[in-house]
Amino acid sequence: MSTARDLALDADGDLAIQGQDLAPLVADTAAIVSDVKSALLMVLGEWFLDQSKGVPWFDVLGQKKVSLQGIRSTLSNAIAARRGITQVQFANVTQDSVSRAPTHWIHWQEHRRHYSRS
């Protein structure tokens, strides 16, 4: 099995910088987590070279009444499509009734290991 590698991302989802250069590539689990995060941040049609790449967030979140099940399904499908992910076991989305802000919790399996992120 080959080692997965990806660019390192900082906490804001931007490319990680060390000094005045890109941070070293991340490998294995960190690379898969970085790839999933990058995939979830790309909006469908955003990349001019391949407008089929990305997540259809405007279709899911642009409705008058947002469907939490639609968000769950979109999250699960986007994560399951990434290289190295064997199964999305759990994707939970709740919405704060005051701020209307969604929060999420995701549990997935990569090869034989399990991971969770919120």
Q: What CA–CA distance (Å, rounded) separates 105 from 68? A: 12
Q: Which of 65, 110, 104 is nearest to 87 (CA)?
A: 110
pLDDT digits (tens, 9 = 90+) for 90-105: 777 776 666 666 665 5
Tokens of 20: 């005045």
* pLDDT of 49 above 90: yes
Which CATH code for domain 29-117? 3.10.450.40
Q: Is the dihedral of CA 114, 10, 4, 86 positive or negative?
A: positive
> How, if at all, do strands 102-110 and 85-95 pair?
antiparallel
What is the pLDDT at residue 113? 55
